[in-house]
């Protein structure tokens, strides 16, 4: 059963080929058998999953079922889940039991999905390799000595190893698209404001956006349709109707104008990754799309801009974790200052501390204008580049990551090298655009992802372009041999 897509599982549930309880037990058994090798889950909610599956079976039997009713999924451990630990993979929140559900969780629960558990991630979503987790690194199912990407590495690894048919993720600078590429699955980050951030623990509020991982674009369309929509509890949520994403999947891309940014195919891109990417673009040509070169001249400014904006916002957001109201508290503090200092020093890992320090410095008196304000001005230039490009083309394509998955520990002592792995994804968040990664082939036995970038609220066109490619190829059907 685990080799089926969500659409196929939904059809099987509706036809009575298997029950949601049987399907859920199957995935729980796979998690028990395979997760020790991957460390993709922080929490497995077996009891509540089976209870939800039985409720889904009753809904299916009564004819009161939607397209996702009875389908098991996993949630990134950044989404609050009522009565279940929500840790953000940090010691700071190791003892935090969320008292409510995030809007994303509520919506998917209402759609009838069954939560299998909460997936591992980089601490507070800060990382590109899933090595900063308090619970240890997640392993890539294609090579357990390699990273799965981050920060949503647990979700990506779980879907790639078929421990869950789909999983939620968040993307602040590429944290859905990059792990999707490195794990050989499909992942989409919608337009900023399309999916509610209520109950999603904040890293950088103007960049964070919830999204989803699944084997195929069709599966992502089903999941995103259930997750998206206006939420009055989130001030950044956009009040705009959510289209039927599955209805947009015509498989026809004839006349689609694809832009290839010349800045994405230069120095720093692995030659083998470039070959796979170019072969994928050729497939689109065969399908009738028109390919033209475009320019995003401020691409080189994306990383320095992001690593001022994101740490500044993280410094502000994480100031609430002080050992007083919730989360980790140090033992026997001498006074209030000692409580703050030791609770935060013990609760936060090295990467989180690094970003808090950088962000606090950038926001401090005398440096705000020179760093944070300047970064916001550069951010506007980056967005303007995309605006001009979309006057010429419908979709922008290129590599998702400059290389395939690197080895665990390879970049741990070199933060700058780690940050460069997000070179092609960060600008999309700075501009608030939708982006996705789809499997495009392999290099050295490891997956390569093709990134698709759309204009604001144009997720339907992105999903259709991805679906057309997946109808013509079978890269999204490949699974790691050890987990097949």
Q: Which residues contact 319 (CB under 8 A, 6 or more apart)?
A: none
Closest CA to 312 of 379, 352, 372, 378: 372
Q: From the candidates 19, 76, 196, 216, which is the catalytic residue?
A: 76
Q: Which residues contact 278 (CB under 8 A, 6 or more apart)?
A: none
Q: Which residues contact 51 (CB under 8 A, 6 or more apart)?
A: none
Please name the residue that has the structure tokens 């084997």.
215
Closest CA to 449 of 411, 403, 480: 403
**Catalytic site residue 257?**
no
Q: From the candidates 19, 87, 133, 151, which is the catalytic residue?
A: 151
Q: From the candidates 155, 175, 237, 412, which is the catalytic residue?
A: 175
CA distances from 117 to 72, 167, 218, 285 (A): 10, 10, 23, 41
**Catalytic site residue 437?**
no
CB distance 234 to 198 below 8 Å: yes
What stretches of 79-183 adopt beta strand conformation (E)? 114-119, 167-170
Task: Tell me if residue 173 falls in helix, strand or coil.
Answer: coil
- Relative to beta strand 72-76, strand 290-294 is unpaired
Alpha-carbon dihedral of residues 259, 264, 265, 269, nearest 10 degrees?
Answer: -150
Residue 41's DSSP bridge partners are 119
CB distance 176 to 187 below 8 Å: yes
Nearest-angstrom CA–CA distance, 21 and 37: 25
**Catalytic site residue 175?**
yes
As annotated, the active-site residues are 76, 151, 175
């Amino acid at each position: 059963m685990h080799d089926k897509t969500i659409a196929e599982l939904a059809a099987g549930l509706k036809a009575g080929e298997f029950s949601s309880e049987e399907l859920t037990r199957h995935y729980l058994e796979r998690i028990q058998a395979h997760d020790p090798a991957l460390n993709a889950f922080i929490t497995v909610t077996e009891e509540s999953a089976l209870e939800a599956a039985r409720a889904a079976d009753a809904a299916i039997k009564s004819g009161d079922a939607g397209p996702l009713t009875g389908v098991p999924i996993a949630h990134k451990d950044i989404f609050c889940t009522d009565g279940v630990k929500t840790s953000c993979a940090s010691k700071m929140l190791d003892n935090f039991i969320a008292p409510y559900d995030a809007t994303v969780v509520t919506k998917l629960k209402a759609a009838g999905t069954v939560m299998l558990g909460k997936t591992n991630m980089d601490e507070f979503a800060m990382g590109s390799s899933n090595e900063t987790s308090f619970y240890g690194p997640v392993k890539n199912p294609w090579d357990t000595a390699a990273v799965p990407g981050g920060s949503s590495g647990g979700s990506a690894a779980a879907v790639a190893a078929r421990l869950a048919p789909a999983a939620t993720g968040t993307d602040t600078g590429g944290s859905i698209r990059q792990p999707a590429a490195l794990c050989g699955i499909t992942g989409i980050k919608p337009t900023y404001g399309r999916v509610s951030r209520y109950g999603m623990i904040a890293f950088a509020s103007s960049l964070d956006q919830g999204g989803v991982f699944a084997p195929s674009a069709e599966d992502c369309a089903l999941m995103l349709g259930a997750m998206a929509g206006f939420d009055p509890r989130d001030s950044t949520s956009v009040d705009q109707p959510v289209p039927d994403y599955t209805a947009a999947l015509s498989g026809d891309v004839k006349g689609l104008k694809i832009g290839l940014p010349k800045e994405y195919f230069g120095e720093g891109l692995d030659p083998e990754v470039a070959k796979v990417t170019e072969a994928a673009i050729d497939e689109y040509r065969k399908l009738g799309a028109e390919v033209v070169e475009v320019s995003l001249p401020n691409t080189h400014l994306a990383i320095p801009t992001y690593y001022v904006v994101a740490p500044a916002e993280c410094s502000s957001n994480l100031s609430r974790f002080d050992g007083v109201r919730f989360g980790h508290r140090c033992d026997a503090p001498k006074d209030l200052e000692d409580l703050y200092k030791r609770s935060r020093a013990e609760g936060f890992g090295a990467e989180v501390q690094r970003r808090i320090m950088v962000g606090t410095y950038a926001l401090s008196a005398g440096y705000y204008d020179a760093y944070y304000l300047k970064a916001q001005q550069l951010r506007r230039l980056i967005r303007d580049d995309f605006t001009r490009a979309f006057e010429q083309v419908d979709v922008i394509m290129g590599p998702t990551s400059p290389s395939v998955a690197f080895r665990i520990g390879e970049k741990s002592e070199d933060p700058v090298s780690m940050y460069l792995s997000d070179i092609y994804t960060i600008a999309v968040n700075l501009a608030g655009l939708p982006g996705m990664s789809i499997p495009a082939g392999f290099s050295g036995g490891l997956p390569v992802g093709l990134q698709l970038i759309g204009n604001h609220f144009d997720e339907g066109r992105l999903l259709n372009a991805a679906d057309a490619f997946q109808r013509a190829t079978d890269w999204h059907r490949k699974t790691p041999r050890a987990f097949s």
